């Protein structure tokens, strides 16, 4: 079982060999909590959540440490605090901004199916020396000055890039080619244009900490050097983030950490995800295409989208390929989830005969994901390949509970489905047995119903009962506890048999090149409200899927 990852440091895929298989360590740069996280921020959160899951599967959950920081000291935070809370002191205003945006970030990424990291340190907790002795920013800066890698000038402490022979290796930028520009600040007190701030002085109206260099605050880059070392050590396995962080952030992290600790590397593997564009253009507030995670989950392009549909859409592209985000991409992901839900509905109707007890027992049974699913992920997190292997098994769901269980476990492993909340987020088991739009109401009460179903409750909450009534599902209680009767189940099964029979007839017509008959059958299905989608399976053979037109 060999995991191969693309290492930005060497511009190549490499076999992953941890420093210590009993303690695999990964650090990923987290959000600066001055505003809601946007869809570009969501990509590394999702990508490295998948890597976290893969590492835990290989090495064991207790042997993997994942650290993702929160930057809660930053000039953008100061500006936002002063704008939004002018009547509060700056410290109180900053606290209000960072707490609310951090809480929103946690809610948003949880809705995207992401596991919490092992540790999530805040920058403000690591500025000054700590009682527990963990690495802090002020101590790192003092070490860099003592070793000749940093200097005081113009009221700041700066890193001297000329003291590091291979500065720029990660980004492939040679120091003598650095020019002042968009990402290199121009300051007369710098020895070199590429030198960067480790510590800067604070005015009375800015947040600050007392330090050997006066009251001030840390530069951006030193935060991650301190927090990664605090939890993962001077050298660790994997450092991840977005492509935009390679320079200057990650380049400067490496410089600080290596020079402070006297090590040849900071992390052995550097992984970076590509950008997310929106509807063909770079995301920008001025263009009106700036999309936050909260926008997607509440109202974007006229409607809310399910968190697992967002995740599926994101994972349908390889993390090292750019994504063009669009309403059609989202709609395609949602259609896939609804189709899969239809397949599980057929499994219920065909195998479990509308009886909750055996179905609930089946839900609780864990199956291994398909081997090819995991093999795809081992190849540099090839999520499109993993999803292709899962998709090739969709047709087996209604007929084979074992295959259905493996599909469910595969989707669950990718974080797209949580079997405990299958009625939530656009993935209802009963979808397809009743009107498609009824599920919108089901989302808000799904958790309560699922609890009642699995626990054998005798009484349903009124809001749950009302949603079932609107969806034409009759709930009854008998000696065996909760059961339900789906009034139109026989019609649905009969229609499904007719639909599948017509699709088989159409496939036969296409095989004998009778395209007139093929078109006639497609039109007949369309008149029944059924849309067809032709494609190919993993072996390249023609396949056809169907869904109810919305």
Nearest to 223 by CA among 145, 136, 285, 287: 136
pTM, entire model? 0.78
- The CATH architecture annotation of domain 4-273 reads 3-Layer(aba) Sandwich (3.40)
Q: What b-and-e string marks burial along 467-498, b requiring 16 or more CB atoms within 10 Å of the CB?
A: bbeebebeeeeeeeebbbebeebeebeeebee
One-character DSSP codes across 320-346 = TS-EEE-HHHHHHHHHHHHHHHHHHHH
Would you call 523 helix, strand, or coil by DSSP?
helix
pLDDT tens for the 550 residues of the chain, in order: 799 999 999 999 999 999 999 999 999 999 999 989 999 999 999 999 999 999 999 999 999 999 999 999 988 898 888 888 988 888 788 888 999 899 999 999 998 999 999 999 999 999 999 999 999 999 999 999 999 999 999 999 999 999 999 999 999 987 766 554 444 555 778 999 999 999 999 988 888 999 999 999 999 999 999 999 999 999 999 999 999 999 999 999 999 999 999 999 999 999 999 999 998 898 877 777 889 999 998 889 888 888 889 999 999 999 999 999 999 999 899 888 878 877 876 776 677 655 555 666 677 777 888 898 999 999 999 999 999 999 999 999 988 888 988 999 999 999 998 765 554 333 344 433 333 334 334 444 444 554 455 455 556 666 656 655 655 555 555 444 444 443 333 444 456 678 888 988 998 898 888 888 988 898 888 777 677 878 776 667 788 877 655 4
Decide the pairing of beta strands 530-536 and 481-486: unpaired
Q: What is the DSSP string of 29-91?
A: ---BTTS--BHHHHHHHHHHHHHHHHHHHHH-GGGEEEEE-BB---HHHHHHHHHH-TTS-HH
The residues, any chain, with a CB within 8 Å of residue 460's CB and separated by 6 or more, are 448, 449, 452, 468, 475, 482
State the pLDDT at residue 344: 79
Tokens 């596991």, located at residue: 115
Parse the chain into domains and list their residue ranges: 4-273, 328-487, 492-548
The H or E element containing residue 405 is helix 401-413
């Amino acid at each position: 079982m060999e995991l191969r990852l693309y290492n930005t440091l060497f511009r190549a895929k490499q076999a992953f060999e941890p420093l210590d298989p009993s303690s695999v360590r990964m650090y990923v740069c987290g959000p600066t909590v001055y505003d809601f996280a946007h869809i570009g921020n969501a990509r590394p959160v999702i990508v490295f959540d998948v890597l976290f899951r893969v590492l835990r599967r290989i090495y064991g959950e207790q042997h993997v440490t994942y650290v993702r920081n929160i930057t809660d000291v930053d000039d953008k935070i100061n500006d936002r605090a002063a704008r939004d809370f002018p009547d509060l002191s700056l410290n109180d205003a900053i606290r209000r901004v960072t707490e609310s945006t951090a809480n929103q970030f946690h809610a948003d990424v949880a809705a995207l199916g992401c596991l919490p990291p092992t540790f999530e340190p805040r920058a403000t907790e690591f500025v000054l020396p700590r009682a527990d002795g963990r690495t802090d920013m002020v101590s790192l800066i003092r070490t860099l000055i003592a070793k000749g890698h940093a200097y005081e000038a113009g009221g700041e402490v700066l890193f001297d890039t000329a003291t590091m022979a291979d500065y720029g290796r990660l980004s492939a930028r040679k120091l003598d080619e650095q020019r002042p520009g968009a990402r290199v600040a121009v300051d007369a007190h710098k020895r070199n244009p590429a030198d960067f701030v480790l510590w800067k002085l604070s005015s009375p109206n800015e947040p600050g900490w007392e330090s050997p260099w006066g009251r001030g605050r840390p530069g951006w880059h030193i935060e991650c050097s301190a927090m990664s070392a605090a939890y993962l050590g001077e050298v660790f396995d994997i450092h991840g983030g977005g492509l935009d962080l390679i320079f200057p952030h990650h380049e400067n992290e490496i410089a600080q950490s290596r020079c402070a600790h006297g090590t040849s590397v900071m992390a052995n593997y550097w992984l970076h995800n590509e950008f997310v564009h929106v509807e063909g253009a770079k995301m920008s507030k001025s263009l009106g295409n700036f999309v936050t995670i909260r926008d997607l989950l509440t109202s974007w392009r006229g409607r809310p989208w399910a968190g697992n549909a967002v995740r599926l859409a994101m994972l349908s592209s390889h993390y090292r390929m750019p994504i063009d985000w669009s309403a059609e991409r989202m709609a395609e992901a949602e259609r896939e989830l609804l189709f899969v839900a239809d397949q599980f509905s057929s499994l219920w109707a065909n195998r479990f005969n509308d009886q909750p007890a055996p179905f609930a027992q089946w839900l609780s049974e864990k199956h291994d994901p398909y081997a090819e699913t995991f093999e795809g992920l081992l190849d540099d997190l090839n999520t499109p390949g993993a999803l292709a292997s899962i998709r090739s098994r969709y047709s087996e769901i209604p007929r084979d509970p074992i295959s259905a269980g493996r599909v469910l476990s595969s989707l669950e492993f990718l974080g797209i489905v949580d079997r405990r909340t299958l009625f939530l987020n656009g993935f209802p088991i009963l979808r397809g047995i009743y009107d498609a739009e009824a599920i919108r109401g089901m989302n808000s009460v799904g958790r309560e119903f699922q609890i009642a179903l699995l626990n054998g409750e005798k009484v349903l909450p009124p809001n749950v009962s009302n949603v079932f009534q609107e969806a034409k599902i009759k709930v009854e209680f008998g000696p065996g506890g909760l059961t339900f009767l789906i009034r139109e189940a026989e019609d649905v099964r009969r229609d499904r048999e007719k639909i599948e029979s017509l699709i088989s007839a159409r496939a036969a017509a296409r095989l004998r090149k009778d395209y007139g008959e093929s078109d006639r059958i497609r039109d007949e299905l369309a008149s029944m409200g059924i849309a067809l989608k032709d494609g190919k399976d993993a072996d390249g053979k023609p396949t056809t899927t169907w869904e109810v037109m919305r």
